[in-house]
Structure 1
Amino acid sequence: MEVKKYQLPYGNGFQEVTLPEEKVLYDIHGNKADVQEDIAAATLAAVRCPIASQPLQKVVRKGDKVAVIVSDVTRLVRTAEFLPVIISEINVAGVPDEDITIIVATGTHRAHTHDEDIAVCGKDIVKRIKIHQHDSRNNEELTDLGVTSFGTPILIDSYVAEADKVIITGAVSLHPMAGFGGGRKAVMPGVSGHATIMHNHAIALAPKVGDGCNPLCETGILEGNPLHEDMVEVTKKLDPAFLVNMVFTPEGKLHEVVAGHWYKAWEKGCKDLVAMAGVPIKELADVVFASAGGSPKDMNLYQSCKAHMNAVFAVKKGGIMILTLECPDIKEPAIFTDWFSKSDVLQFEKDVRADFSIPAFVAFKTRCIVNSLTTYLVTKPENFEFVRQTGQIPVASLEEAWLLAQQELAKQGKDDYKITIMGHASATMPVLEA
């Protein structure tokens, strides 16, 4: 039997494992795609030749109060490289700096420090343009725009709701509840009230207690996804004037910039992302090796669990998942990791329903995935105790994890097993063909 050595990203390095080549079904890296080296140039071309919209220079005009929504520091999408282009185009249209406000879409996160504003927006923009930190819990800074058909109260940051023109920015990405990130997420949850965000995200749980996660709210699903549809209703009420979104390859390089109508341009970005990150497979594997993609994607479990949520699409029910996640800050943030103290899954679900938050739901969904498989987690030895608390089996090396997996396969009497490898599982999605 011929063997082959495989490397999976782990922190700033790699973990290696030697596998029988005939057992490997797929080595998934995402599909080949063109790369744009100059983000500023790509952004300028996109905003001057937009999708289903006039160019940005014609969308805004002198006298407008313009709000530009940007992702916060937890979503580093290279805003500092494309934001100056947007501001310049608004200026050329006749809108001076003093009539522009940058809104940091914190969602439920904390406000930026001054240094974080510079990291996200760039030093020159911070000097020139007023920056407002959205606060979802400050009701005095929220405007009530009604209620969605799902019963979600539409509470929007007043700086945004009262602007003449709203420009939304961000990046299209795979999302484990909303199908895709980017687009309408700049508004909901980006600049929405806490009650709006919590009511919307609670849709990610199944309607009936005990049924766990809502199967319609899943990665890559838009049609029939009630959480996404509710987000769209919230954003439609605001009706942003223009969108600029980055589309990155699974390796984190810029593929394209989509700009124009807030939904149609973003929708094109979603389709193009799936063309890169969505990898068709004909068969599920008994064992899946997966990496989040190395640092910074495996800094902590909260970021890393995106690998769990995509890799699960490649493995058979009750199969084996082996993850390489260095996680030097594995317990950050505590509002996520503290939930793993709950080992009773039904009680876990009830507690999430009673005190819903995004970190709580992500922890619950991760626990459900882990409980449905045998999951080995290759990580730092100091993480072992906490890893056991999450229901995963900690190991120090990929070779050791593979040895344990082979023992488990032998126990199950499986000698005809198949393997799939996902080196960038956080950003690639296996799609099982019918």
Structure 2
Amino acid sequence: MNTSLLYGKKGLDIELPDRTKVIEPKHIPGLGEKEKEEAFQAMKKPTGQKPLKECVNANETVAIVISDSTRPTPNHKLIPWILEELNHVPNEQFVIINGTGSHRDNTYAELCEMLGKEVVDSVRVINNQAFDPSTQAYLGTSSTGAEIYLNKEYVEADRKIVTGFIEPHFFAGFSGGPKGIMPGIAGIDTIMHFHSAKMIAHPMSTWRILKDNPVQGEATEITCMAKPDFMLNVALNKEKEITAFFAGDVVEAHREGCKYVKEHAMAPCEERFDIVITSNSGYPLDQNLYQAVKGMSAAQKIVKEGGAILCAAECSDGLPDHGNYADILKECSTPQDLIDMINDPNYSKFDQWQVQKQAMIQVWSDVYVYSTLQAADLEAAMLSPIRNMEETIQNIIKEKGGQASIAIMPQGPLTIPYIENE
């Protein structure tokens, strides 16, 4: 059988044995020409909140938080629509804050791609500066003891808006909603606590779970300390087309969106597989190896212990070349050693959470990666590089006796696979 993985901007076609089980979300068509109409309807009739236009007076300052270039949120549509709905507010009273968290700044060219040149040239746009305390405001302490620092311009704005894309998330349950604020515009100390080894290792910090999920819980608690006045989130299909809008209260409307995504993304399986082939949902989600851990994590939910995960992620932005991710991977010689090191209370480095998740997957199964990265970079991360997908799959099948069970997740972590009896 021939199938295609979401990979980069063009996809990746591969030939697989006919017995391969294809696991993907139910397809929902995009809204097409109804997009704008539906967006304005959502802003006028939101969940748990007044209509957006009524939330903002003409003399007030407005901060709009967006997700960075590693997310496919269609802000080139959402932001112009929000500005149009708030056309009684002068452009100079807006600031758009790019929720980079601890990621690198996005460039002018990237911001133009994300927002449209007209918006970038007419409204002030800034990147969150997690490592610069002078750009952050202190809000107190969370119930788990985190010292809360959020972007000062956001905190001091008269009105606050957050946009986002709701998708399954490997330790927050779902993205979007509160996660646009926390960790999107948080300071590094707050981000570190949010991604602590204890939080990441918690059994409820996983796909599709919101209730009693400590990561989602802390994101929600911190967000509500400087709560947005309005949220506009979307759900997308595999073509990155908008299928639905969720607007209004950042908690209530987000939960509605999660329920919608969960209904379409859940994929039950009767048993685990020897081999699971996945992607990281294509560009922009597969820009680097750091992000590709999500695809590996989704596959781990249905692969046998000692099995093999094959992840196709283009990694056009490298490992990436910023942060501590690559350096932490080099500090130990085995995945278990990485886990033990990160679980040491005296160890603390930003990006350790992604290494921790990756190592937990690698302890469970072998992980192979097809990408544009150099083989040496993958081997340094204790991952097996793939030059040819079909050849690698056939070799693994032979190693496992010729009758290995195989599954493929063409859309990667846009799917939430699970084993029914587990």
Q: Same fold (TM over 0.5)?
A: yes
- Matched residue, 1:18: 16
Which range moves more in the overlay, 98-107 or 319-328? 319-328
2:329 aligned to 321, 325, 340, which one? 340
CA distance in 2, matches of 1:101, 1:356: 33
Per-residue deviation at 1:64? 2.3
CA distance in 2, matches of 1:109, 1:327: 15
Work out whether 1:374 is the aligned partner of 2:369.
Answer: no
C-alpha change, 1:358 and 1:174, in structure 2 (3 Å) is farther
1:192 aligned to 186, 198, 201, which one? 186
Q: Is the 1:367–1:390 contact (alpha carbons within 8 Å) kept by the matching residues of 2?
A: no
Alignment of 1:409-420 (within 5 A): 409-410=400-401, 415=403, 417-420=404-407
Deviations 1:173-193 (A, max 9, x none): 222221111111121112222
- 1:132 maps to amino acid: I
- 1:280 maps to amino acid: P
CA distance in 1, matches of 2:96, 2:154: 10
CA distance in 1, matches of 2:354, 2:63: 31
- 2:329 maps to amino acid: F
CA distance in 2, matches of 1:291, 1:74: 15
- 1:14 maps to amino acid: L
- Gap regions ≥5 residues in structure 2: none
CA distance in 1, matches of 2:355, 2:236: 26
CA distance in 1, matches of 2:100, 2:205: 22
1:54 aligned to 45, 50, 53, which one? 50
CA distance in 2, matches of 1:233, 1:181: 15
CA distance in 2, matches of 1:221, 1:251: 25
Per-residue deviation at 1:248? 1.0
SS in 2 for 1:206: helix
SS in 1 for 2:125: strand
1:154 aligned to 126, 130, 148, which one? 148
2:133 aligned to 139, 147, 155, which one? 139
- Matched residue, 1:229: 217
- Matched residue, 2:307: 319
- Matched residue, 1:69: 65
Work out whether 1:178 is the aligned partner of 2:178.
Answer: no
- Matched residue, 1:360: 352
Say which one has the larger Rg. 1
- Gap regions ≥5 residues in structure 1: none
Identity of aligned residues (%): 28
CA distance in 1, matches of 2:103, 2:5: 31
1:402 aligned to 367, 383, 393, which one? 393
Per-residue deviation at 1:279? 1.4
C-alpha change, 1:59 and 1:390, in structure 2 (3 Å) is same
Per-residue deviation at 1:274? 1.4
2:26 aligned to 31, 39, 56, which one? 31
C-alpha change, 1:5 and 1:76, in structure 2 (3 Å) is closer
- 1:270 maps to amino acid: C
Deviations 1:252-292 (A, max 9, x none): 22111111111111111111111222212222222212223
CA distance in 2, matches of 1:88, 1:328: 34
- 1:373 maps to amino acid: S
CA distance in 1, matches of 2:31, 2:350: 33
Deviations 1:71-101 (A, max 9, x none): 2233341212110111122224xx3223222
C-alpha change, 1:85 and 1:326, in structure 2 (3 Å) is closer
SS in 1 for 2:392: helix
Aligned CA RMSD, in angstroms, stands at 2.4
Which range moves more in the overlay, 389-398 or 363-372? 389-398
- Matched residue, 2:78: 82
Work out whether 1:250 is the aligned partner of 2:238.
Answer: yes
Q: TM-score, normalised by structure 1?
A: 0.87
- 1:337 maps to amino acid: A
Work out whether 1:114 is the aligned partner of 2:87.
Answer: no
C-alpha change, 1:314 and 1:347, in structure 2 (3 Å) is closer
C-alpha change, 1:293 and 1:113, in structure 2 (3 Å) is closer
SS in 2 for 1:51: coil
Deviations 1:34-66 (A, max 9, x none): 311244333212101211222111111233222
CA distance in 2, matches of 1:348, 1:127: 45
CA distance in 2, matches of 1:288, 1:75: 24
SS in 2 for 1:50: coil
Work out whether 1:422 is the aligned partner of 2:412.
Answer: no
Which range moves more in the overlay, 103-112 or 217-226? 103-112
- 1:323 maps to amino acid: C
Q: Is the 2:231–2:248 contact (alpha carbons within 8 Å) kept by the matching residues of 1?
A: yes
C-alpha change, 1:375 and 1:350, in structure 2 (3 Å) is closer
CA distance in 2, matches of 1:355, 1:44: 48
C-alpha change, 1:315 and 1:9, in structure 2 (3 Å) is same
CA distance in 2, matches of 1:84, 1:103: 15
- Matched residue, 2:249: 261
SS in 2 for 1:16: strand
Per-residue deviation at 1:305? 2.3
Q: Is the 2:133–2:187 contact (alpha carbons within 8 Å) kept by the matching residues of 1?
A: yes
CA distance in 2, matches of 1:374, 1:107: 30
- Matched residue, 1:103: 97
CA distance in 2, matches of 1:10, 1:165: 38
CA distance in 2, matches of 1:249, 1:325: 18
CA distance in 1, matches of 2:314, 2:220: 36
Per-residue deviation at 1:126? 2.5
